[in-house]
Amino acid sequence: MRFFSDNAAACCPEVLAALGAANRLDTAYDGDGLSKRLDGAFSDLFGCEVRALWVATGTAANSLALAALCQPHQSIVCHRDAHIQNDEGGAPEFYTHGAKLLLAEGEGAKLTPDTVQALLATVRADVHQVQPAALSITNATEYGLVYTPDEVAALGALARERKLGFHMDGARFANAVARLGCHPADLTWRAGVDALSFGFVKNGGLSAEMLVFFRPELADATLYRRKRAGHLLSKGRYMAAQVLAMLEDDVWLRNARAANDGAARLAGAAGARLLLPVEANELFIRVTPEEAQRLRDQGFDFYDWGPGEARLVTSWDSDPAEVDALATAIAAL
């Protein structure tokens, strides 16, 4: 019974079926009929004109977005615990040719206008210091918190005022939207977001992640950068097929709700053990090493997260019976 990562989950049946349906001769790269539908499909979803590009990983989506918003001699403001800082092997530095990440603070990996401004205030406006050009947040955050539309908009207003491009790492964007029940536009372009890494793989996809530009002109150079990074797959139809299948009938939202529901069920059982509110599909709980062992002895697998802490992740296909079993086990600790 695995609760250590939504990356461990299988693909949802709609995705596999779409791969089969796409399995025919078509134009190579992104010239196929399915890939050509993406701009339209995401423009419909977001209610504005967007450009939407598939790539093979969220790391590539994030890094291409940052390269579109930040010159090599500039810098990107993000949270100290951001995935782009800690878990992408330096990909942002690679794609931006060495831009710096400037690290801001905030509870639960969430930035606020105050913490961003405090960081910006430390940068002198001279050539000896790397000047900020972009702001990047993660929604849902690395600690499973969710930025509301108002919170995003407050950061978006600051970004505009300071002339920073605004990127959202949405590896778990679906979980955030599912939690908030808002329109996807409210969390993105209406709140000032320029580029969104829209995650599909953790949420039931196989290998396709999306990079969505709300300023369509940013896509022009990105198409070249994607090719240059080796992310223009030769049989792109299979990338588009996965994503279109998950947009259809809101599979992406249904999957995210299922994952969130599992986490909420566990949160109820964890009670005072919770380190942070549970707003998406991740829980961080206090457990002694002995308690952690007791859970593992019952067949539950998860990551330790520092001394006396554990991370539990649910996914679109978490078995309700297994979730119940874990909830019971946690309550019984």
Specify the residue, 112 or 207, whose C-beta has the smaller distance to a copy of itself: 207
Q: Under the criterion CB under 8 A, does residue 255 sit at the interface with a copy of itself?
A: no
Give the CA count within 13 Å in the CB-facing half-sphere of 224: 6
Among 121, 125, 234, 307, indicate the residue that binds a copy of itself (CB under 8 A): 234
Residue 128 Cβ, how far from a copy of itself at the closest point, in Å?
A: 5
What's the N-to-C CA distance of the chain in angstroms? 18
Specify the residue, 63 or 188, whose C-beta has the smaller distance to a copy of itself: 63
Specify the residue, 87 or 161, whose C-beta has the smaller distance to a copy of itself: 87
Specify the residue, 147 or 238, whose C-beta has the smaller distance to a copy of itself: 238
Chain residues 102-131 in contact with a copy of itself, contact rule CB under 8 A: 127-131
Rg (CA), the chain: 20
Residue 309 is inside which H or E element, if any?
strand 309-313
Closest by CA to 219, choosing from 61, 25, 34, is 61
Residue 313 is inside which H or E element, if any?
strand 309-313
Among 154, 233, 267, 276, indicate the residue that binds a copy of itself (CB under 8 A): 233
Q: In what order do the strands lie in the sheet with 51-55?
A: 51-55, 209-213, 195-198, 165-170, 131-138, 74-79, 100-104
Virtual torsion, Cα 295, 301, 306, 308, nearest 10 deg? 0
Q: Under the criterion CB under 8 A, does residue 317 sit at the interface with a copy of itself?
A: yes
CA distance 284 to 76: 27
The bridge status of strand 209-213 relative to strand 195-198 is antiparallel
Specify the residue, 44 or 319, whose C-beta has the smaller distance to a copy of itself: 319
Burial class of residue 103 (count of CB atoms within 10 Å of its CB; 0-12, 13-18, 19+):
middle
CA distance 68 to 74: 12
Among 48, 56, 157, 327, indicate the residue that binds a copy of itself (CB under 8 A): 56
Chain residues 178-217 in contact with a copy of itself, contact rule CB under 8 A: 201-202, 206-207
Q: Under the criterion CB under 8 A, does residue 328 sit at the interface with a copy of itself?
A: no
Specify the residue, 16 or 48, whose C-beta has the smaller distance to a copy of itself: 16
Q: Under the criterion CB under 8 A, does residue 2 sit at the interface with a copy of itself?
A: yes
Residue 173 Cβ, how far from a copy of itself at the closest point, in Å?
A: 15
String marking each residue 78-107 x if it binds a copy of itself according to CB under 8 A = --------xxxxxx-xxxxxxxxx------
Q: Under the criterion CB under 8 A, does residue 232 sit at the interface with a copy of itself?
A: yes
Q: Under the criterion CB under 8 A, does residue 307 sit at the interface with a copy of itself?
A: no
Q: Under the criterion CB under 8 A, does residue 75 sit at the interface with a copy of itself?
A: yes
Contact 275, 284 (CB under 8 A): yes
* Angle, helices 58-69/218-228, rounded to nearest 10 degrees: 130
Among 7, 288, 293, 298, indicate the residue that binds a copy of itself (CB under 8 A): 7
Chain residues 18-37 in contact with a copy of itself, contact rule CB under 8 A: 19-20, 23-29
